[in-house]
Every structure is written in structure tokens, then in C-alpha cells.
Amino acid sequence: MRTRTALLPLAASAALLLAACSSGDDSAGGDATGGVELVNAGQLTMCTNPPFEPFEYEDGGEITGLDPAIVGEVAKDLGVELNVKSSPFEGIQSGADLDTGNCDIVASGISITPERAEKFDFSDPYFDADLGLLVAEGSDLDSEAALEGKSIAVQQATTGDDWVQDKGLNGVQFEDLGLQIQALKTGQVDAVVNDIAVLGPYIADGFEVTATFTTGDQYGFGVKKGNTALLDQVNATLERIHSDGTYDELYTEFIGSAPADSATPSPSDS
């Protein structure tokens, strides 16, 4: 088994963050290898919003998943440790976490959109994402048309939320995926719409995915506007892990199957 030192227990992450903030002249941040300026010297600080399995979720007091695993590779290339922080998705997708110095990079299954690209700079895409429809086993809800007049749990400020609104359907907003699932379990809503890749873990819980809605969405990592040094490093790491097979290994580990296309991603227009 390949060891990834980038994944830190939550308590250890907090301790490292406090230590960095109280240590000498580096308390206001510092330069890492290659001239990349970081919020906390010696650490690449990542904001994410679990639960969003398999991209980010807690396991044994540790935030793990495909996103921290890939960002951990960026930290390794920089020669620093990875500090993973849990944050509400609104602060992540709005760019607020980056603008206030809460973190260096946001990674939380973030779809690349023109609106978000105005708030922060996106890396090259690293994952293709469509939407899925999760319902109770035996439900007859299996299409967009079947959702008319039904209550649909969506994660606020996501492309799933936008899709439901654009279709004129009845969306009920929740802060995270876990709350969406709980609402479906209790009968508060009739269905859940979210990214197809994160719905799989719930199929064994009496639910099933009955439809996929193709959106053409792609995920990207975000850095503060104008932070070209870090952005260049993130893109260089993405290129490396695609060329040396690391991306395929991580994808298979967390998604459960090999990627259909393991080619190096094309640069985004953002």
C-alpha cells in the first residue's frame, strides 16, 4: 500500500496550524520552494467541504478522498505538508476563503463555471462530472419529467442547485450532501440531485440512482486571483500525475474503477 503523508488527522491539522501561527517571523505566511507564497509557512492549506465522498470525507478522524490526495501531490512537489481544513461550501465557491487567507487552495468537487472563474483562478480540469438522481428503491422517479411537482434536495450554491432552478423544479436547499441524504431518508424530500460520482456510496442504503443528467461539467481546484505561482504548480502537478500514473492510481482507489480517459487534461479557459 502506498503511503500518503499529506492526509492529516483533524486534531493534528489544528495543532500544526496553531504552531505555524505562533512561530516567529513566519506567522504572517512565507515563501515555499519555488517562490510560492503560502498562508502558513511550510504548509499548503486546503479548504474543503465534507461529506462529499469519494472526493472528501472523514474516516477515522481524518479528511481523506480524491481531492486531498491530489492536492497532497501538489504539497509534495512543493516540499511542504498538507493542512486540510473543513469549511462551508459557500465560502469555498465564492472565493471568500481564499480572499480572507483562510487557505491557499480550495478543493471540494468544484465545477468550473464562468461565475466562479470571476472570483478565483481555476486549475486545469481534473474530473468530468455529470448530475445523478438518487431516490428510494422502487421509486418511479427516473427522469426530469417525473420530477415535476416533487421536492428535490439540492446542495446550495452548486451546479445541481442551478440545474434544478433552471428546469423550474422544486428544489430544497441543504448545506451539504449529508443533509440531503438525511432529508431523503426521513421523507422530507422525494429525491436528491447531486454529482453522480458522490451518490454511489448511498446505493447500498436502500437508495438507487435512476437517472444521469449530462452537464459537461468539469472539476477544478481554485487559488486566489493572481496567484500564478501556485496555479502554475498545481497545473504542473496535474500534468505529472497524469504522465506517471499516479492519477490513475488515485482515481481507482477512490472512485472504484479506472478512469475512462487518462490523458493529460486540457487547460481550462479560466
The 10s digit of each residue's pLDDT in 170-210 is 999 999 999 999 999 999 999 999 998 899 888 888 999 99
Parallel, antiparallel or unpaired: strands 191-195 and 127-136: antiparallel
Peptide bond into 54 cis (omega under 30): yes
The 10s digit of each residue's pLDDT in 229-265 is 999 999 999 999 999 999 999 999 998 878 875 433 4
Domain ranges for the chain: 10-126+220-255, 130-217
Parallel, antiparallel or unpaired: strands 81-86 and 43-48: parallel
215 vs 87 pLDDT, higher one: 87
**Residue 124 near residue 112 (C-beta atoms within 8 A):** no
**Residue 56 near residue 108 (C-beta atoms within 8 A):** yes
The 10s digit of each residue's pLDDT in 227-239 is 999 999 999 999 9
Amino acid at 267: P
**Cα-only R_g, the chain:** 19
The 10s digit of each residue's pLDDT in 43-71 is 999 999 999 999 999 999 999 999 999 99
Name the CATH superfamily for 130-217: Periplasmic binding protein-like II (3.40.190.10)
Q: What is the rounded average pLDDT for all residues in the chain?
A: 86
**Residue 169 near residue 175 (C-beta atoms within 8 A):** no
Is the pLDDT confidence value at 17 over 90? no
Cα separation, 108 vs 68, whole angstroms: 9
Is the pLDDT confidence value at 76 over 50? yes
**Structure pTM?**
0.75
Q: pLDDT value at position 223?
A: 98
Distances (CA, A) of 214 to 128, 144, 194, 251, 266: 10, 12, 12, 20, 20
Q: Would you identify the CATH topology of the domain 10-126+220-255?
A: D-Maltodextrin-Binding Protein; domain 2 (3.40.190)
Domains 10-126+220-255 and 130-217 share a fold: yes
Question: Across residues 134-154, what is the average pLDDT?
Answer: 97
Q: pLDDT value at position 256?
A: 81
For 123, list phi and psi in degrees, rounded to 5.
-75, 175
**Residue 157 near residue 111 (C-beta atoms within 8 A):** no
